[in-house]
Chains A and B, each alone.
Chain A
Amino acid sequence: MAVNYAVLKKGGFMRQKQKNNFSLRLRVVGGNLTAVQLAKIAEVADKFGEGYVHLTSRQSVEIPFIKVDDIDDVKNALAEGDVEPGVCGPRVRTITACQGEAICPSGCIDTYALAKELDDRYFARELPHKFKFGITGCQNNCLKAEENDVGIKGGIKVSWKEDDCIGCGVCAKACRQGAITITDKKISVDSDKCNFCGRCYKACPTDAWNTVHGYIVSFGGLFGNQINKGETIIPFIEDKETLLRICDAAIEFFDKNAKPSERFKFTIDRVGRENFEKVILEAYNE
């Protein structure tokens, strides 16, 4: 039987060095799987694989040693447990996320909800090369946003509410950036130092801060054969509609300008960073 590797790879079947064996990559969004999904994955790994799974570096699950003849049966079995194959190759990959605001006390945004939204919008979209999104809930950066083609980091923009402040002094110590000074019971925040971590607000006993929960977005990260830290263009994006416009603009730019097998960073470099910045700023100001 002739095996169409391109089609299989699109469907998440990774050819193994062992002939006619595939490591099946599954679709995972934001690093969460339900108990039902896990039970089904376990069953399939036992029945069709070799009884184990591999956790990938980007929050996906692979079931190694799936036989080429079993592919349809495996897909059907997985579907019963709400599990789908993932993707590889030149398209939008697994959207990764930390647990974020829904679970983690440090979180500034709902990373999982955003991961699902981006997954609905872009997952498996065909592009000149692979394209990775990663979402991390705050400056602690557990999900390592800047290693992705588009990295999204939650942040909180703060402004002091004098009337609610009891002058306890906790915020100035909670801030790791040294951005807060208190003189004569007045607080000032140095906007050059503030990184939108939100720690001052989270520590404040009276919530004496106005807050905007938003996003810090980096572009062109790579962490493979070549390593590059994604760079930020706009310091802080205040709402999700603007964020999505900017993500759309970044993907469109890549789709339109990239050569086959060229990663986002190299497209930006070749076409010119200033041209890319212009596109992003236009989307921001739209």
Chain B
Amino acid sequence: MSDFNIDDKVDITDVVCPTTFVKAKVALEELDDGQILSIRLNDGEPVQNVPRSIKEEGHQILKLLDNEDGTYELIVKKVGD
């Protein structure tokens, strides 16, 4: 994870789809253009769907890291204000 300068983190492992995306989106709204958010998400539906929803919102996905505990870290650069 040291490859990225993380500006903020959000943990969405405590909610289920579609609230996962809502929570991630709300966190992204707090950021400025170009800032980087790290999103902790669960295996299964969240990791299958959340990256795509974030792409469709126009943000830039940089990396998906496997925490090897059934969760992942999705590194996203905010695009737009």
| Bound Cα distance from A77 to B51, whole angstroms | 51
Given A170-B64, A173-B64, decide whether A202 and B72 contact each other with a Cβ distance below 8 A.
no
Task: Judge if B35 is at the interface, Cβ distance under 8 Å.
Answer: no
User: What is the distance, in angstroms, from B3's C-beta to the closest C-beta of chain A?
Assistant: 11
| Bound Cα distance from A173 to B48, whole angstroms | 6
Q: Which residues of A in the span 217-241 have a Cβ within 8 Å of any Cβ on B?
A: none
Q: How large is the interface on A (under 10, 10 to 19, 20 to 34, 35 or more residues)?
A: 10 to 19
Nearest A residue (CB) for B56: A105
Residues on B with beta carbons closer than 8 Å to the beta carbon of A202: 52, 55
Contact A169 B64 (CB under 8 A): yes
User: What is the distance, in angstroms, from A4's C-beta to the closest C-beta of chain B?
Assistant: 54
| Bound Cα distance from A105 to B18, whole angstroms | 15
Residues on B with beta carbons closer than 8 Å to the beta carbon of A174: 48-49, 51-52
| Bound Cα distance from A170 to B47, whole angstroms | 8
Q: Which residues of B in the span 34-51 have a Cβ within 8 Å of any Cβ on A?
A: 47-49, 51
Contact A168 B64 (CB under 8 A): yes
Task: Judge if A205 is at the interface, Cβ distance under 8 Å.
Answer: yes
Task: Judge if A36 is at the interface, Cβ distance under 8 Å.
Answer: no
Contact B62 A166 (CB under 8 A): yes
Given A105-B56, A173-B72, decide whether A203 and B62 contact each other with a Cβ distance below 8 A.
no
Contact B51 A173 (CB under 8 A): yes
* B contact residues, total (Cβ < 8 Å): 16
User: What is the distance, in angstroms, from A128's C-beta to the closest C-beta of chain B?
Assistant: 45
| Bound Cα distance from A167 to B65, whole angstroms | 11
Contact A203 B63 (CB under 8 A): no
Residues on A with beta carbons closer than 8 Å to the beta carbon of B66: 169
Which of A167, A168, A199 meets B52, CB within 8 Å?
A199
Task: Judge if A176 is at the interface, Cβ distance under 8 Å.
Answer: yes
Given A105-B56, A205-B55, decide whether A169 and B48 contact each other with a Cβ distance below 8 A.
no
Contact B55 A203 (CB under 8 A): yes
Residues on A with beta carbons closer than 8 Å to the beta carbon of B63: 166-169
Residues on A with beta carbons closer than 8 Å to the beta carbon of B72: 173
User: What is the distance, in angstroms, from B74's C-beta to the closest C-beta of chain A?
Assistant: 8
Nearest B residue (CB) for A105: B56
Residues on B with beta carbons closer than 8 Å to the beta carbon of A199: 48, 52
Residues on A with beta carbons closer than 8 Å to the beta carbon of B60: 205
Nearest B residue (CB) for A173: B47
Residues on B with beta carbons closer than 8 Å to the beta carbon of A170: 51-52, 61, 64, 74
Residues on A with beta carbons closer than 8 Å to the beta carbon of B62: 166, 168, 205
Residues on A with beta carbons closer than 8 Å to the beta carbon of B48: 173-174, 176, 199
User: What is the distance, in angstroms, from A105's C-beta to the closest C-beta of chain B?
Assistant: 6
User: What is the distance, in angstroms, from B25's C-beta to the closest C-beta of chain A?
Assistant: 15
Greatest chain A CB density within 10 A among B60, B61, B72 is at: B61
| Bound Cα distance from A236 to B65, whole angstroms | 33
Residues on A with beta carbons closer than 8 Å to the beta carbon of B47: 173
| Bound Cα distance from A43 to B56, whole angstroms | 41
Which of B49, B56, B61 meets A168, CB within 8 Å?
B61
| Bound Cα distance from A168 to B62, whole angstroms | 6
Q: What are 14 A-B residue pairs whose CB atoms fall within 8 Å in the complex?
A: A105-B52, A105-B56, A166-B63, A168-B63, A168-B64, A169-B65, A169-B66, A170-B61, A173-B64, A176-B48, A199-B52, A203-B55, A205-B51, A205-B62
